[in-house]
Chain A
């Protein structure tokens, strides 16, 4: 099938502006924790219908991936203020809530106090011996990237769509200087149905989109909102055209 036919067919397929969010990855895809210090897959989404990554300045791509730590448990006295030390440098983020805390499965929100110099937080537990789950913004150097991948291809075809440094993005005022995709002509921003969108992180801290103990705690301060146009139907022939384009 000629590329032009596929392009016409794609153009005639209605699409909606949407975003792939951490929640999309969690609920419709697969998320896992990274191995600190190694480049690892943290999120993967297999697409039902074709997707185009929206590019340009008006399509902001907000990025903030907090470090996760499980601390505690809190002591045997209820309602007292307790201080917990964080392993990484906690920063004041211009883009999202700096620190989010859960006590066991309970959303606590922002801690009572954050000591940015000493990298510690104060939390008051109304119960006792609760695990403390913390997601906090850090400026430690880390790389994050987005790939598209064709599953089960004879040759594993995969192409990097975007990569950037978290250390800078976390301090950059993304309200004023937004991050956005820039693609030239061609099929690069397109993913067909059955293709995978993969997110890789190489960070010294732990990145995860869900707590490890099944409480359903999630990093409410994480931003990874990929602007996309999602087609309402599949487009025959698209996967082959995209696959052919990926080698170039």
Chain B
């Protein structure tokens, strides 16, 4: 798939992305995003779709029975600085999957619904937790989408796409 995009379509992924499987009932990554060597990308927190702040993320997340992940599953974006093992939360928590469960993948970008699809990027909580304009990820850092819920994701049945207009780059890191 084209570079500079963050998407997974039933198992095949774009260059920036690696799929992971969450551990049941633990907040663990389902997706890892890292630009290629020497590059960086920016994810904008405001796009020209809908009214509210946030990155539109369209998704259809299912388990190995092809059942949707439980509605109570929570999602959050996490960031790992270079040379660190820890993941820090850098978004508001998406506290339920009701929207993804009840709106078909094709309809999620509709103007009426797109605000519900938005994930709001923030500073880490100990920096104040305010919303940010964008999130910058270089090749030496890593960004994760993590999930916590009673079922595990099976990517061969699932798909996800970050709205392409929210992703700028890849640029040369230049330092």
A residues whose Cβ falls under 8 Å from a Cβ of B: 14, 16-17, 19, 21-23, 58, 60, 62, 64, 94-97, 100, 107, 109-110, 174-176, 218-223, 225
Contacts and interface: CB of A to CB of B under 8 A. Distances in A.
Given A175-B113, A175-B116, A23 B102 contact: no
B164 interface: no
Interface string B88-104: 00001101101101110
Interface in B72-94: 72-73, 92-93
A57 B111 CA distance: 16
B77 to A, nearest CB: 15
Interface SS of B by simple majority: loop
B70 A22 contact: no
Interface in B6-41: none
Given A14-B128, A62-B96, A110 B67 contact: yes
Nearest to B128: A14
Given A94-B102, A95-B102, A107 B151 contact: yes
Contacts of B98: 62, 64, 95-96, 174-175, 223
Contacts of B95: 19, 21, 225
7 contacts: A16-B125, A58-B52, A60-B116, A97-B68, A174-B98, A218-B150, A220-B71
B2 interface: no
The 6 closest A-B pairs by CB, nearest first: A220-B70, A220-B72, A109-B67, A107-B150, A19-B95, A96-B71
Given A110-B68, A175-B113, 14 more contacts: A16-B129, A21-B72, A21-B95, A96-B102, A107-B70, A109-B63, A109-B65, A109-B70, A174-B98, A175-B116, A176-B112, A220-B70, A222-B71, A223-B98
B149 interface: yes
B44 to A, nearest CB: 20
Categorize the interface residue count of chain B.
20 to 34
A100 B70 contact: yes
A158 to B, nearest CB: 27
A19 B94 CA distance: 10
Contacts of A95: 98, 102
B89 to A, nearest CB: 11
B151 A223 contact: no
Contact of B71 (A17, A19, A223): A223
Which DSSP category, helix, strand, loop or mixed, fits chain A's interface?
A: loop
Nearest to B72: A220
A100 to B, nearest CB: 7
A58 B101 CA distance: 20
A97 B70 contact: yes
Contacts of B151: 107, 109
A125 to B, nearest CB: 15
Nearest to B120: A17
Given A17-B92, A109-B67, A222 B72 contact: yes
Nearest to B95: A19
A97 B150 contact: no
Contacts of A225: 95-96
A175 B99 contact: yes
Contacts of B51: 58
B103 A175 contact: yes
Contacts of A23: 72
B128 A97 contact: no
Nearest to B113: A175
Contact of A96 (B67, B101, B115): B101
Contact of A223 (B96, B113, B125): B96
A95 B99 CA distance: 8
A218 B72 contact: yes
Contacts of B72: 21-23, 218-222
A107 B72 CA distance: 13
A214 B4 CA distance: 47
